[in-house]
Amino acid sequence: MNMLIFSGLCLLPLVLALTLIFRKRREQLALSRAPFDELQRRPAGETLRIKLETLDEKLTDEILGLIMFPMLMVFVLVALHPKDWMSPVICFLISAGSSVFFGKRIYRTTRSKSNYRLGFEGERFVGEELSRLIAHKFEIYHDVPFENFNLDHVLVASRGVFVVETKTRRKPLNDSGDAKYRVRFDGKFLHWPWGQDSHGIEQAKNNAKTLGNWLSSATAEHVNAIPILALPGWMVDRKAAINGIYVLNPKEIFGVCSSLPQIINDQQIQRICHQLNQKCRIEVK
């Protein structure tokens, strides 16, 4: 029992230090604030950034659980000094069970974090490529929020309204260790090195339809949004007509969008951008 008391006393300075740190931090936040209330345009990948922060907090809790249960069992054994074999076996089973439980959770969380990180970096990469369009009088909006989902990027200019959906997928390696980097679009399906699917195509079309309907209602005039599916890092071979959607490497978006004819006048652009500016504000805490 004395050993257990001593172990608790050793942890007491840590608890006091953490309590003091959190209290000081709350006091600092209460006495100051950011010099601005909101960002007028959300940065690229904002939703994924928030998800990554949430996963970081979750991962921290799971790692603490993985460490604390075995440590607690050691303290119990040291304090009890058991004379029989039953108590060590029980402590071992509890330690092993907690390690398996938290180990599985940590694996799932780290895998989800890796996927979200890839998506976040893909959206950020596409956002950097889209910034080239600013010189051509394009207005660019990132992470446009709707109910339960968001639009990765929206472009507005006299050449039209475009919705860019980003799908970032890892490249497989061939036998020589080189990455395969080509994908073929046949008008309906994407043909990857591992097989075909339509991942992202219908989502991009639905997103464009949603934005077009919303802007048409908000501005009281018909707005047609053009879908673009961006595949960062992949060379896209197009073997069919556009068929209602552009499937592009992000570096191709500049050339495609800047070369289209003008179809929207300045007054329409102002009304569309006004609605998007209101929707994309983000509070700064």
Q: Are 142 and 45 in contact (CB under 8 A)?
A: yes
Q: What is the DSSP letter of 179?
A: B
Instruction: Write the pLDDT tens digit of every residue in 180-230.
Output: 788 999 888 999 988 899 889 999 999 999 999 999 999 999 999 999 999
- Residue 282 to residues 43, 46, 168, 273, Cα–Cα distance (Å): 9, 10, 25, 16
Q: pTM of the predicted model, to two decimals?
A: 0.80
Sheet containing strand 190-192, strands side by side: 195-197, 190-192, 182-185, 235-238
Which residue matches tokens 């289209």?
A: 260
| Surface-to-core class of residue 188, CB atoms within 10 Å of its CB (0-12 exposed, 13-18 middle, 19+ buried) | exposed
Q: What is the pLDDT of residues 9-40, one digit of tens each?
A: 666 676 677 778 778 877 776 676 666 555 56
Axis-axis angle for helices 266-279, 201-219 (nearest 10): 110
The helix or strand, by DSSP H or E, that contains position 196, with its residue range, turns out to be strand 195-197
* pLDDT, mean over the chain: 85
Q: 3-17, 35-49, 113-127, 242-256: which has the minimum mean pLDDT? A: 3-17
Q: What would the mean pLDDT of 75-99 be, rounded to a whole number?
A: 80
